[in-house]
Structure 1
Amino acid sequence: MNSHLPTEKQQKLKQLIVIFCILLITLLFAFTLLIAEPTQELSSFELDQQGQKVGSGPTEFRIHNQQLYVAVPSNGHYVIPEADLKTIRMLSDDIATRQIAVDQKHVYCGNMILKNLNPQTVRSIGDGYISDGQVSYYCSQITERNTELNVVQEVWQILLHHTGIGSKPQSYWYPHYQLETSQSPYQLTVQGTVSNGEYTYFRGKLVEQANGHTMRYLPSYSGSSDRLRESSHYTADGTHVYYKNQRVPVQDHPQLMVFDFGGGIESEFLHDRKTQNFYYQTSPFSQKYSPYHLLNKDDEHAHDPLFLSQQGIYFYHRQEQKLQRTGDNPFSQKLTQLAPDVFHNGQDTYYLGLYDKYIRSGRGTKLCYRSTVLYRLKNAPVNRWQKIAEVKYGNSRWRAATIWKNGAQYYYFDEFGQGQGFDQAVYLIKDAYALRFILNPSRSSDDIRQYAGRGILLSPQVERLAKAKYDENFCVSELWSQNE
């Protein structure tokens, strides 16, 4: 037993030495950082005002003081030391290639050199795809975080760059991918997709087993608009369905529909109307609770869509990537919609609203969590609802709300939404004076936005039925206030 003690002590000593060295190096660099002159970068304004554009069309490239710069959104500008300023040119005047330049030796995707491409014969295929007849690439028009650069590397490179020892870290870049080489040339089939009959690519990534020549975008609707458009990410080829370049476990058929909740990044859901199931990206909702019914198709008074099944109300937690139950389904027998985000079940009236928890301190305001809440109105019998007016502003044809009467009370059913300062779908109109004020046809959109703040509209008495919540930041106070 004792023979192992020296070895264990030596291991602990080595660990302590390593930790000490890391701390020492960190302190040395921190000291260097304090005393060194930081590297000065040209601002975007200076480059735009003083730099010379490359080409006559759309471009991200500028020449300044005999150096070529390229804009890489989210991380400023980068110098391209390899560039030949005498022969530098844009690949084309197409806006989709504004991030691609060529000189006598290289082809550049932003500040990255695309290897093995012949700059003399390279041409644009479309939507960021280029080829020299043999080698083909995709160069994205939108920058992304460089996942090949880990946090330790990035911090180290920032320190080196700040002290003038190293170059600027490639924290963001224009993603670029080389396509498989084959005898047949690549052709653009639908937006963002190329195929040569053997290989198909969606925004530079291989789509396995896809027929690129029959590829189409699935129809999509967004918000309260009934007008269909093409999905941003879901495609189908007559057999398979894809989210970006990944297979979705459903066969292509005419009853597939996409809805875009919120119109942001990763905001699309796929709806299979034949089975009444839903998919987020490539993940199907659990068959255990199907069929599902979508309660709210837009984000006017909600952060997330809510899905009804016989077993309850669910929402898809997009951070944790799983379906979560958030309450009982009060609409298991009947669901009637009075107005956007306002519903009844034959007995009670319900509406959607937002509840976001903030805490304030000397260091500012911090958002703890966001949530979408389904409320049940108190003292509002369903059989007494009477629509009496529409609220429009000025001479506009756009409707801001509808006015409803229930017994002796008047209610304001909002359609402006959270973007205009209305966090809930239903408000109680304070009194007869407030009602006349709201119904005045000369009211402007600015007047309407001030209704709640000026006390013209009040929050009615309610009971909370369901709450779809996700955390934004850790807040200590939430440990003892879980019932909010």
Structure 2
Amino acid sequence: MQKRAKWTVITLVLIIAALPMFLLFWLMDGDDFAAVDHGQSYGNSIYKNHQGGVYAAVPSNGYYRLDQADPASFQAFDTGAFDGRQAARDQRHVYCGNQVLPDLKPALARYLGNSYFSDGAATYFCSMHSVRNEELGMLDEFWQKILYRADAGPKPQTYLYPFVALPASARPYRPLLDSELATDDARVYYRGREMPQAQPASLRRLPAGRDGDVRPSDDFFADGRRVYFHEQLLPLSDDPALYTFMVGDLYRQPYLRDPRDGMVYVGAQPFDAAHAPYRLLNEQGRHVYHALFATKDGIYFYNTQTRQVERAGDDPFVSGAYIELSPYVYTDGRQTLFLRAQESWARSSRGSGGGLVSRSTLINRLEGAPDGNWKKLGAVYHGFGTVWQKGDTLYYLDELGPTQLVSNSIYQILDRGTADFLLRSQETRQITAADIRKLIRGGKLAVPQHEAVLEAKTRYRKVFSIF
């Protein structure tokens, strides 16, 4: 009896332990994505006809059935462009994704451009990008998923195409510039939200730089008097010298710098004016996880988790005599400093569940280098990097970065054959990023001795060790 009771308890424990996993798989298996995806497309839109029903593809959330749609009269807007494919109409409604745009008459509705739709009376901005539904809480989403899988409720709207109604206007709305702007020639709207006091006739996109390329900004605008981040008015006046930029792949960190006072803004958030002027250290972004700014008080960076501008430490470039060997390596003739991007990950065995813990951008000092000046021997094909000599030592200065699994911006070349292979690539054009990784794994390129002098760190989670 005791043995049978023991096995009964063990069986119950295993069943209870396995239930969450079964529930997870059950919830994840609720979308017939592949079947709908093979349905008939409505033009170049996000919509499909599958077994007589109309479905809308909402990125990150799969397909939603439009129960209120009329398949016989359903049609996409003929925009001739990617923008506008997120909306459609039938004889009853106009749709933004899988949602109905209220009060918009389908027979009169037309695509204006820049993601705006109007019937002459009502006008809407319907975003071409889906976003997470912030109004749906985690518990509500979980419960709705259970109901949906049990055929007892609709699919939860975890992601959606957001839309905004513009106020009624006696003048017709029209698209402005080639961004998400519209105007009635009196007011200007960005993604459906008014830009206060903006002048449509003089509004322009500010120049934006990224990795040496300059193009019109998607985030910052000016009208000759005022400056805006999206629809938000910034506390500075317009000037031809205003410059916006992003560093590398830090897409959610659009910066603006005002050369008149050296102030910097990340989005609509100003840096602390007490430390201005700010000078950007690293324009290229492949070996950094932060944009670093030098001031008279040290090095500062924007922490995306705390949403604050923080001090990383004293400025090691304070002498001002440094020259750039590569976008990430600098020397003043006496010492050499280089940038490095670094990640910290937790293992699930540490009791944290695993995942990204932090990202850092370090300024390191090269140690043990021989005396002598730096001499450039040549470039590696495809812009992978450059080869240099200092004394009798050879170095490879990388420009690929961690996204190509090359984690350091400077490597010591340990044999002449490797240097010849890198330099000869300009003639042979026979080199790939995999070749660089192979040289590192094979010990042909080695991380030189160095010391960290400064670290900018963003923490994403805390890790607790279990002893």
Shorter-chain TM-score tier: 0.7 to 0.9
Work out whether residues 375 and 465 of structure 1, in 8 Å CA contact, stay in contact via their aligned partners in 2: yes
How much does 1:41 deviate? 5.0
1:62 pairs with 2:48: yes
Structural mapping, 1:144-293, within 5 Å = 144-190=131-177, 191-223=179-211, 225=212, 227-293=213-279
**Equivalent residue number for residue 300 of structure 1:** 286
**Equivalent residue number for residue 373 of structure 1:** 362
SS of 1:296's equivalent?
coil
Q: Supply the distance in 2 between the matched residues of 1:91 and 1:172 (Cα, whole angstroms).
A: 22
Change in Cα spacing, 1:326 to 1:457, as seen in structure 2 (3 Å) is same
Work out whether residues 250 and 289 of structure 2, in 8 Å CA contact, stay in contact via their aligned partners in 1: no
- Residue by residue, what CA displacement relative to the aligned partner does 1:308-353 show, whole Å, maximum 9, x if unpaired? 1121111111221211111211222223212111112343110001
**Equivalent residue number for residue 399 of structure 2:** 415
How much does 1:448 deviate? 2.3
Change in Cα spacing, 1:71 to 1:375, as seen in structure 2 (3 Å) is same
Q: Supply the distance in 2 between the matched residues of 1:382 and 1:324 (Cα, whole angstroms).
A: 36
**Equivalent residue number for residue 79 of structure 1:** 65
Q: Using the TM superposition, name which of 171-180 and 400-409 deviates more.
A: 400-409
1:462 pairs with 2:446: no
Q: Supply the distance in 1 between the matched residues of 2:455 and 2:208 (Cα, whole angstroms).
A: 27
Q: Supply the distance in 1 between the matched residues of 2:371 and 2:300 (Cα, whole angstroms).
A: 25
Q: Supply the distance in 2 between the matched residues of 1:195 and 1:439 (Cα, whole angstroms).
A: 55
Change in Cα spacing, 1:96 to 1:437, as seen in structure 2 (3 Å) is closer
Q: Supply the distance in 1 between the matched residues of 2:27 and 2:127 (Cα, whole angstroms).
A: 32
**Equivalent residue number for residue 387 of structure 2:** 403
Q: Supply the distance in 2 between the matched residues of 1:235 and 1:213 (Cα, whole angstroms).
A: 13
**Equivalent residue number for residue 106 of structure 1:** 93
SS of 2:201's equivalent?
helix
- Residue by residue, what CA displacement relative to the aligned partner does 1:107-142 show, whole Å, maximum 9, x if unpaired? 111111111111111111102101111111111111
Question: What amino acid sits opposite 2:144 in the alignment?
Answer: Q
Question: What amino acid sits opposite 2:444 in the alignment?
Answer: I
Question: What amino acid sits opposite 1:198 in the alignment?
Answer: A
Change in Cα spacing, 1:411 to 1:231, as seen in structure 2 (3 Å) is same
SS of 2:439's equivalent?
coil
Q: Which residue, 27, 48, 52 being the options, matches 2:37?
A: 48
Work out whether residues 358 and 365 of structure 1, in 8 Å CA contact, stay in contact via their aligned partners in 2: yes
Q: Supply the distance in 1 between the matched residues of 2:361 and 2:294 (Cα, whole angstroms).
A: 14
Q: Supply the distance in 1 between the matched residues of 2:115 and 2:248 (Cα, whole angstroms).
A: 27
How much does 1:153 deviate? 2.2
Question: What amino acid sits opposite 2:310 in the alignment?
Answer: Q
SS of 1:217's equivalent?
strand
Change in Cα spacing, 1:373 to 1:40, as seen in structure 2 (3 Å) is closer
Q: Supply the distance in 1 between the matched residues of 2:400 and 2:249 (Cα, whole angstroms).
A: 17
Question: What amino acid sits opposite 1:421 in the alignment?
Answer: L
SS of 1:452's equivalent?
helix
Q: Supply the distance in 1 between the matched residues of 2:99 and 2:164 (Cα, whole angstroms).
A: 11
- TM-score between both structures, scaled by the size of structure 1: 0.85
Work out whether residues 362 and 456 of structure 2, in 8 Å CA contact, stay in contact via their aligned partners in 1: yes
Q: Which residue, 303, 311, 330 being the options, matches 1:343?
A: 330
1:115 pairs with 2:102: yes
Work out whether residues 193 and 212 of structure 1, in 8 Å CA contact, stay in contact via their aligned partners in 2: no
Q: Which runs of 5+ in 1 are unaligned?
A: 1-26, 393-397
- TM-score between both structures, scaled by the size of structure 2: 0.88
4+ residue segments displaced more than 4 Å: 37-42, 361-365
Change in Cα spacing, 1:263 to 1:302, as seen in structure 2 (3 Å) is closer
How much does 1:413 deviate? 1.0
Once superposed, what is the RMSD of the aligned Cα atoms?
Answer: 2.5
Change in Cα spacing, 1:184 to 1:380, as seen in structure 2 (3 Å) is same
How much does 1:155 deviate? 2.1
Work out whether residues 39 and 162 of structure 1, in 8 Å CA contact, stay in contact via their aligned partners in 2: no
Change in Cα spacing, 1:39 to 1:414, as seen in structure 2 (3 Å) is closer
**Equivalent residue number for residue 333 of structure 1:** 319
- Residue by residue, what CA displacement relative to the aligned partner does 1:6-50 show, whole Å, maximum 9, x if unpaired? xxxxxxxxxxxxxxxxxxxxx9xx99x96xx8797553332232x
1:131 pairs with 2:118: yes
How much does 1:383 deviate? 5.3
Q: Supply the distance in 2 between the matched residues of 1:75 and 1:312 (Cα, whole angstroms).
A: 45
**Equivalent residue number for residue 8 of structure 2:** none
Q: Supply the distance in 1 between the matched residues of 2:319 and 2:59 (Cα, whole angstroms).
A: 51
Work out whether residues 349 and 381 of structure 1, in 8 Å CA contact, stay in contact via their aligned partners in 2: no
**Equivalent pairs: percent with the same residue?**
34
Q: Supply the distance in 2 between the matched residues of 1:367 and 1:417 (Cα, whole angstroms).
A: 18
Q: Supply the distance in 1 between the matched residues of 2:194 and 2:271 (Cα, whole angstroms).
A: 26
Q: Which residue, 123, 127, 130 being the options, matches 1:140?
A: 127
- Residue by residue, what CA displacement relative to the aligned partner does 1:250-269 show, whole Å, maximum 9, x if unpaired? 11111101111234542311
**Equivalent residue number for residue 7 of structure 2:** none
How much does 1:88 deviate? 1.2
- Residue by residue, what CA displacement relative to the aligned partner does 1:342-384 show, whole Å, maximum 9, x if unpaired? 1123431100012212233559853321111100111337852
Work out whether residues 404 and 410 of structure 1, in 8 Å CA contact, stay in contact via their aligned partners in 2: yes
